[in-house]
Amino acid sequence: MTTGTGQAWEARRPQGFWRTFAEADLSKADIIKGFIARYGDVNSKLPERSALKDWQEVQDTLKVAALAYVAPDANGVSHVTTDKALVDHASVLGFPGEGTLHFDVTNEVVRGVGICPRAPSLATFMQMSAVQMIFERTPTRRCDECGHWFALETTRAIYCSAACKSAAHRKMRAA
């Protein structure tokens, strides 16, 4: 999955940070600034305060999606609820972002030919991630280093990224 015209980055798998966005306090300018610095603008626009309404609309849909997840267990892992009605409710999202979904055919040496959905904006990417993760019942966890939610794919990872892992290890060595 990739985002459109904003900050250029791409991800092959759904990303769990939509849960961080769902919980973010959008009344705080520095929280929005931090989110833009790390992930880009939700609708791939230049960061302006006037776009706050857009952010809130996107957040509202992701708050509904987050209802599918139960509170973290003793290991800090938050799973999709077994309540089917709640899952159904949480997976029906409005898609307020502009544009339609595109599908890119990828041809990679490692993975072979496949279909890769292309999200036109960060908002849509987060919504696609949310729906797919709920559907696949992907567990989530907060990163021990940065506190952002991330998708637990197969391992018992405690960091969201290689960057957070090495930052944490640097701190441990320094301690």
Chain positions contacting Zn ion, by CB under 5 A: 143, 145-146, 160, 164
Residue number, 64 or 77, with CB nearest to Zn ion = 77
- With residue 142 as reference, give the H or E element that holds it: strand 140-142
Residue 142: CB minimum distance to Zn ion, A: 8
Q: Which two tokens stand for residue 86?
A: 């709640």
Handedness of CA 147, 148, 152, 155 (dihedral sign): negative
Strand 140-142, strand 149-151: pairing: antiparallel
Residue 158: CB minimum distance to Zn ion, A: 9
Residue number, 44 or 140, with CB nearest to Zn ion = 140
Residue 147: CB minimum distance to Zn ion, A: 7
Strand partners, 150: 141
